[in-house]
Structure 1
């Protein structure tokens, strides 16, 4: 009985430790959402609203080492009273997003008590010189000041409190006043006209650009540029491989196929990774669905049409409200192409019953062997895939092992 009590205690403690470890890992390893973080505090509702309106929220969510300097509604009222257009306001708010992690503790551990940190305004290339850098200075007495580098070194905003932190991933800090910068506040016009076919031709998608340029599909792409557009552009190798089939399509089918590669919405990679569902395209109309599924595995994003699966392998341009991705396969809609029947492997003929003998090297490595290295590798790969998505199978296997060890201990 004493052995049983000790063993039971060990199992319970180890299981609880494992569950706590998994929960903590999930908490720190998951993606963050700045909109949800700020929504918990009504005092930041205006700042939160304009992060979404300028699409900075999407940029914040897809970065993994970042600090957001938020101001309350009163501070935002002062900023909005300057009547900046949405593009200038985006530049100003970009000063409040630092491309490094600064938690409350780190603010008071700055070397030499002062440092310069790049903001998103600097990272986007919109700032001139070092105008997008933010000066952080740990003033004596626990006061920390913030100021734009091109503002004569003036520290006119100060640290108030920490709002939210995931160590070394994201920190949200409240500061007393909005940061100002002559460079960021300079009048800014909207993004210039995006020439899709020129961008494609210069970055490895010339084949698709050559198909799109003379087609009736191009105006539909251009019409959606201002309102939001995502384009999936097959690589030149993918176009070359598919070209013989493309030439056999009617003009109407070619138009639908090209439109199938566009989505009338701006979809960042982070948004695509969290989508995991069906997505309509420029070709979608009434009963003609012309949709495909978006799936993700870690950082990878795949588009599945049920005819073919294509992977996003690069980004040609991401300039809100337009983004163009490079994919490794031509997307083939079910409305134009038939789904290939699933191939059922033929069963190996059963050998005649003979006297047992030692297995040959070929038989020992046969895929049909349950204990073969290939079989183990496949099973391990499947387990790794499952662990990558949830992590629960690994914990279950570990718990099973613990129980087995303890049962062995009890039988001694």
Structure 2
């Protein structure tokens, strides 16, 4: 438990140091505080809408309580239809209680995540908001350019981050015939096809949440992994324990260095565990330049054990997150360190004593040599010792 708490704090601080995450919305963590919304929260995770909400800067989530979700789920919809309907509950604008009651001319229309997917026909991806008699506010999904009868009413405000995130409760699910009929994602099966698997969610739920958080913090890296996950991808994800202890070193890298290190943990082709167990030799990574042999790893096997070696460190595969063509994800006990980013090997955990050239006690072991990739020890110390836990963090990554 102490490790998980430390992990949550370090991930929170790390991601808030990166500009792309300053406005991220941890909807899973917010709703986890309210048991009445547990079913709604679970389906945001199952349908992969939670990561979509995370990426948005200005958003309103219209949550429904467990009884309302039970009534909605009794319709027997496929997972794809459930996702589309729930995506109507995510408005791409900010509406708190005050703004809802002060809508100009008494009515407003908001785009939703369903509209943003491109699957919604005509204007069916919009929700109409109307001030009703007695100070009530109604919500109506639009179908075929016409407003449907009021499907739900405003109940209360749950939480709000002014002008960025508002979580409100509405009385019922916004059932839209267009959303129910348009279901690009098939119903769940015991073993979903790889194309249906969100690899970052798979990382979150299998002990690689710190690595997943860093991927989400870099849009370019995340896109590279996602694109390859459809055609062929092997990911070597460091365990949370390994990644968290490495974060101060990671923060000393340049932006390009961080991107290269993350891409160094992926190969742009599918390799099953059985294939890795019969493979010995160098392999290119997503960080490898096609014109050079840089950023390569060396895969070695010894019986059932498989190690991934770099000039800096030897990491062992300690678990399988996913192994189904075209996507394989394996957990490592260490972070892979490329020679191209680090000038001297990091001491192995079993080393009896530091070498004479080991870094000073207040510097992280294996940190980059002086140069453009190194920051002051004071910055790293401030990062580690900070006691401020920001209000929107990544504790939920360790709770799936």
TM-score if structure 2 supplies the norm length? 0.50
The structure with the greater share of residues assigned to helix is: 1
